[in-house]
Amino acid sequence: MNLKNRVALVTGASRGIGAATAEVLASRGAQVAVSARTVSDLDQVAGRIRRAGGKALVVPCDVLDQVQVEAMVGAVMTEWGRLDILVNNAGMGTPTMPVETISPTDWDHTVALNLKSAFLAIRAAVPVMKTQKSGRIINVSSFAGRNFSRISGPQYSAAKAGILALTKHLAVELGPFGIGVNSVAPSIVLTARVKSKWEARTQEEQKTILAGIPLRRLAQPEEVATVIAFLASDDASYVNGVCIDINGGSYMV
């Protein structure tokens, strides 16, 4: 899975799956632009990449702002002149809650952050990839989009299910231009944010969740990142429109 001379852009790259993905892509030779809102966190990710001998570009962006998203892609083009890999990882879960307690404002924000953000990034990147006649887009969905969420609300599940439909539609639309579009659906991943939610559960609750996972453990961010790296590589050159489940066997289609 050599990604030498490839240019990648990872959204939501300040921590968790996004940061791990940026570092894995860079370790395999890609030049990686990392994007999120918190510059200090992005600087740390970029610093780790550079210390390991890779190339990184920090591009702060609010992924819900169309102008900023277009400027983000523009910054990558200015720096490296191409864009080969787009990883749409930006998003966030919600507290678990009954549907009748969710405000329309909360619903709209969650759907926008987890679904509209991917649309805006793809919309900005596709003209570049069409000109190149090549590109790989990987959208980060979730076990929640495949089934339901154990740690977030229904608005999050709905948004992540939307990612799966968006992926399939765009795989058909963009395939003739040499652009592959795929997704991954992780289950519970022990990012810093999720770890706090996990540790807040009782031991009995944790045991119940782990009992439903054949591997009997939660995923690490790097275990998602390596699958994304596969989809970004030539090893997956004929893979298009699929979702790879990364859940330890807890849900099988």
* Catalytic site positions: 156
CB burial readout 200-223, b (16+ within 10 A) else e: eeeeeeeeebeeebeeeebbebeb
Residues 33 and 9: beta-carbon distance below 8 Å = yes
Which alpha helices (DSSP H) does the chain contain, by range?
16-27, 39-51, 66-80, 104-111, 117-132, 143-146, 154-174, 192-199, 203-211, 221-232
**Alpha-carbon dihedral sign for residues 187, 150, 220, 54:** positive
Closest CA to 75 of 57, 87, 90, 63: 57
Between strands 7-11 and 85-88, the pairing is parallel
Residues 219 and 228: beta-carbon distance below 8 Å = no
